[in-house]
Amino acid sequence: MKKKKRYEKKIIVAPTAVSWADRIRRLSIRLARENRSGAHYLSANCDAVYRTVDGRGPDASEAHPSAGARITFNMSSVHVPGFCEATKDRRANAYKNCYDLAAESVTSGNDKHVSARRKLVDESLPLPKGASVAETYFGAVDVNGSGVRFYGDVCLVLQRDYAGTCVVLDRNSYELVRSPVKEQVARTGKLKQDAARHAIARSWSGSWEDDLRHIVAAKALTTLPLVARRWSTGHISQAVCSDEDYIEVLKGGSFNAHDLQEARLSAHDISEDALTAARLASRRPVPRLESMLWSRRRAVAEIALRSLGVPVRIVGHHGRIKT
């Protein structure tokens, strides 16, 4: 009796290395076939993405110096005064990552450590040139929002000059250890899992200078509705950073308050602070203790930032404004 041949399922870990510009070209062709009614707007909307990333309006020939995509780091208002003090003292790493905090805890006795999961993710990533895992700092791309508020209520916006050598990932690197990617990696076998994670992370990555505009375009094309209408700056801004769905930035080396373009507070938090102040004044009803605490923390954080010449802006929407 003839034995049946056994075919093993081929597991594709990551796509073949293709430039982000070429990915956009292929994606546009596929989307044009699938959605003919909006096909003639694909090229115009890709151009709108590139303009938004560069800081150019829909009719502008030149970029505005304070507009466009920026690297943002969200920090709790609790820690902002310490960040500002470290800047005044000219400490090398005013902004700290988990490795800095773990190193400091050895002498302070706080017993902070970097989790095994965090290390696993970090060791799988294509790092900025010349930076070790411990010297890499994780931010997010934002256009004119208040960053990833899950990580803190104060959004620190770096000046654009600091973006040149950064690595950009088209998503949160923690997806390497979350479904469905973790199952995809597990199927490669125990001995190949590290290589699989490295390959996947590389397929998500690009450089700020060469690839960011294409990475943003890819995200917009796969998340925004493909209709016969032109996307606005507001549409694109929300596609770039929506809650915890963001484009991640790996920056080599820390920074301080002098490296900031500005700091941003969300209109949601500021409206809560205003309500708290109004209730304190009238005493009807008495504001919650935690509302008073966070309102005070944000006020202290803003004073600390302004004392170092950092502008603090309230962000209430994602679109363009006239000042």
Whether the Cβ atoms of residue 158 and residue 255 lie closer than 8 Å to each other:
yes
Distance CA 81, CA 77 (A): 8
Residue 276 counted as domain residue: no
Q: Identify which of 214, 198, 176 has the alpha carbon closest to the alpha carbon of residue 50.
A: 214
Residue 154 counted as domain residue: yes
**60 lies in which domain range?**
20-265
Q: Identify which of 40, 15, 14, 16 has the alpha carbon closest to the alpha carbon of residue 28.
A: 40
pLDDT (mean) for 144-149: 94
At 271, the pLDDT band (50, 70, 90 cuts) reads very high
Highest mean pLDDT among 29-38, 247-256, 279-288: 247-256
How far CA 44 is from CA of 25, 40, 47, 226, 229, in Å, comes to 13, 8, 5, 12, 10
pLDDT digits (tens, 9 = 90+) for 39-56: 789 999 999 999 999 999
Residue 274 counted as domain residue: no
Q: Identify which of 74, 73, 69, 91 has the alpha carbon closest to the alpha carbon of residue 82.
A: 91
Residue 77 counted as domain residue: yes
Would the pLDDT of 15 be above 70? Answer: no
Q: Mean pLDDT over all residues of the chain?
A: 91
Residue 173 counted as domain residue: yes
Number of domains composing the chain? 1
Residue 106 counted as domain residue: yes
Angle at 168 between CA 48 and CA 51, to 5 degrees: 15
pLDDT digits (tens, 9 = 90+) for 164-218: 789 999 999 999 999 999 999 999 998 999 999 999 999 999 999 999 999 999 9
Neighbour tally for 167: CB within 10 Å? 23
How far CA 46 is from CA of 50, 53, 214, in Å, comes to 6, 11, 9
Residue 320 counted as domain residue: no
* pLDDT score at 318: 78
Would the pLDDT of 9 be above 70? Answer: no
- Chain mean position to CA 280: 36
Residue 239 counted as domain residue: yes
DSSP 177: G
pLDDT digits (tens, 9 = 90+) for 115-141: 999 999 999 999 999 999 999 999 999
